[in-house]
Structure 1
Amino acid sequence: MDTSALSSTPRTLFKRATLALACASLLGLSLASHADVPETNLRLAHVVNSDDTYHIAATRFQELLSEKSDGAISVEIFPNASLGDERTLLEGMQIGTVDMGVITNGPVANFVDEFSVFELPFLFPTQEAAYEVLDGEIGQEILGKLEGVNLKGLAFAERGFRNITNSRNAINTPDDLDGLRLRVIENEVYVDTFRTLGANAVPMAWTEALTALQQGTIDGQENPINAIYAFNLAETQNYLTMTRHIYAPALFVMSLPKWNAMPEEVQTLVLDAAREASTYAREQNAEMEAEQLAALEAAGMEINDSPDIEAFQTAVAPVYEKYGQQFGDYLSRIQEALQ
């Protein structure tokens, strides 16, 4: 019997086992890390319905986190303002009763003033220009300021360029807004912009605005096409004017107490998923807008896609005079970045 063959067998097996473990470590690193992710449940709220771009972003976030964590991280979505309006959601995040949400930039600006710089009328000429600023140094710097009010900014999603609808008359110049009772976001830049343009700007939560439009207590509102379509505003609004007056970001926002309570590996997965979901929502917005406009027109809305933009830009000059210095050097930095 050849005993040397027997004596070499353990050494051979050991070498093979060591090599196998090394390969498994290299090839299966991400799977191992997923297996180590603790089970986490997140409650994400927003104020719109399941046809809206916010819900598309939230659903994609939910899917991505499930994929990235092999099911360890689950996201429960609460649409339709079921947990409250956007201000209520943000206040809930501050005290930890709401985990996170997809929130319009305007209400966020009531907690951190610098976010209002993005609400200045006709600031961004295109979506791509907005993305460059929001995803770059300036946007991320402002996003980080949310930690000072017990919130965690994750990523800029999208509401989009806002346009005016109303039930009273066609709009082509600022003169056509004279006396129009127009719902605006509860944000002073929005209020001052439309009062400067001659409208009777009425700040109110979106949930209240829907009722007011149906009852006729207000004449119109301003929102991106995705919201106008999702909420079937053609039922109450006869005229749509493509003013594209403000590019409105949305934000994935989280409770800072909840964020701090999560392990680092969960934080990384949540942040990555929020950024990817935001990019996805932007792409979906761009793809769907033409189809949504066609559907609104078919539903009876009269659409003006070429109003006198120069007249609107000239008319809002006092808004820049009032707020130009309020945001430190952010306005000048954005304008320089857009050149």
Structure 2
Amino acid sequence: MSRRVFALGLVIVCLFSLMSSVAAAPRVIRLAHVVNERDGFHIAALKFKELVEARTKGQLAIEIYPNASLGDERTLLEGMQLGTIDMGVITNGPVANFLPRMAAFEMPFLFASAQEAYYVLDGPVGKKLLAELETVNLKGLAYAERGFRNLTNSKRPVATPDDIKGLKIRVMENPVYIATFKALGVNAVPMAWTECLTALQQGVVDGQENPINVIYAYKLYETQKYLSLTRHTYAPALFVMSLKLYKSLPADTQKILVEAAQSAAEYERKWDADQESSQLQEIAKNRMVITQPNLELFKQAVKPVYDSYRDKFGGLIDEIQAEIKKMKR
């Protein structure tokens, strides 16, 4: 009898241990992005994972899916809307296809410095736009960084707008980018990043525009000979997730996700700034010709873009410019 009692007790202990381990299994959130592990998006994702898992004491586990393994950025955002994709670090350009007012942040030469961009994005205007994402079933957590975009091409150095005319340049699938490059006389080819590398290799397009971090991470100097430091647009990125998933989480967990996203975004911004000089040196070592263009000529050439978009964004451009002036006081 005592043996039976002992055996029964042992079974009960094992069952409780099993139940305890099941109860302790973390909830998994899958975070996707479309770039490689050398890119700033991946750095931001790793920091977010570290912070969330530490602050939830292992109750949440963040699994990172780089290299567009779950789809391009439009596909990821559509999946978040449906609740089939959890979250991602996404370039603002594609986000603006779902909430058009987001494109206001990427008007040409809107921000003169990263500090101006951070002030606006982390302030009332940026927070208002994050909140508006809920109208399209997305939850914006924080603004990470894509950075100031620069032009590369395989044909010739670009120092003035005249030098760029007639080139076929891949741009993001976003009307503001298309309008900006058309104003410069470019044959603007909207294309997802996942298709761009092949297009550059095959000569389907002559060039593209992206921040230094992307040019370095993807070794674009292998297909592109010329880099022009136009810094024509500051591009934010977003930590964005499925609104359905966000609302299913407890309030304290929601707070952790928002705070971790902001901290990871600030970490990535600093990482980008710290890396840019050495990345430029590496690009130059690989025989890419780097040109400092006449930016005033470029600014003059894209003024018509403001004329056509100021009303479309319903005063948002004026709000952004007012915030920049406030920062400078």
Give the TM-score normalised by the residue count of structure 1: 0.88
Q: Is residue 290 of structure 1 aligned with residue 277 of structure 2?
A: yes
Supply the AA of the counterpart residue of 1:325: D
Match in the other structure for 2:254: 267
Match of 2:58 in 1: 71
**SS in structure 2 of the partner of residue 246 of structure 1:** strand
Q: Is it true that 1:324 corresponds to 2:310 in the alignment? A: yes
| Structure-2 change in CA distance of 1:214 and 1:140 (3 Å) | same
Answer yes or no: is the 8 Å Cα contact 1:183–1:222 preserved in 2. Answer: yes
In structure 1, C-alpha distance between the alignment counterparts of 2:27 and 2:131, rounded to whole Å: 24
**Counterpart in the other structure of 1:43:** 30
Q: Counterparts in 2 of 1:108-187, with a 5 A limit?
A: 108-187=95-174
Offset at 1:336?
Answer: 1.4
Does 2:320 correspond to 1:309?
no
Deviation at 1:39, TM superposition (A): 3.2
Aligned counterpart for 1:335 among listed residues 321, 324, 327:
321
Counterpart code for 2:297:
A
Structure 2 segments unaligned to the other structure (5+ residues): 1-22
For residue 250 of structure 1, the aligned residue among 227, 237, 255 is 237
After superposition, what is the alpha-carbon deviation per residue over 1:62-90, rounded to whole angstroms, capped at 9, x for unaligned?
01111112222110000000000000000
How many residue pairs were aligned?
A: 303
For 1:130 and 1:101, the matched residues in 2 are separated by 21
Residues 37 and 69, structure 1, Cα contact 8 Å, conserved in 2: no
The CA distance in 2 between the partners of 1:260 and 1:40, in whole Å, is: 15
Larger radius of gyration: 1
Deviating 4+ runs (over 6 angstroms) = none
Aligned partners of 1:297 and 1:129: how far apart in 2? 28
| Aligned-partner residue type, residue 323 of structure 1 | Y
Q: CA deviation at 1:40?
A: 2.1
Which blocks of at least 5 consecutive residues in structure 1 are unaligned? 1-35
Structure 2 residue aligned with 1:19: none
Q: For the Cα contact (< 8 Å) 1:37–1:266, is it kept in 2? A: no
RMSD between aligned alpha carbons?
1.2
SS in 1 for 2:231: coil
- Measured in 2, the distance between the counterparts of 1:204 and 1:88 equals 14
Q: Distance in 2 between matches of 1:288 and 1:277?
A: 16
- Aligned partner of 1:130: which letter? A
What is the alpha-carbon distance in structure 1 between the residues aligned to residue 75 and residue 117 of structure 2? 27
Calculate percent identity across the aligned residue pairs: 56
Letter in structure 2 aligned against 1:218 = V
CA contact (8 A) 1:48 1:54 kept: yes
Q: What amino acid maps onto 1:292 in structure 2?
A: Q
> Which residue type is aligned with residue 313 of structure 1?
K
In the aligned structure 2, how far is the partner of 1:301 from the partner of 1:185?
Answer: 23
**AA matched with 1:177:** I
Cα gap change, 1:262/1:121 in structure 2, threshold over 3 Å: closer, same or farther?
Answer: same
- Report the CA distance shift for 1:77/1:169 in structure 2 as closer, same or farther (over 3 A): same
Report the Cα offset of residue 38 of structure 1: 8.5
Give the counterpart of 1:195 among 165, 182, 185: 182
**Structure 1 position 281 matched with structure 2 position 265:** no
**Residue among 42, 63, 68 paired with 1:55:** 42
Partner of 1:86 in structure 2?
73
Distance (whole Å) between structure 1 residues aligned to residue 213 and residue 172 of structure 2: 16
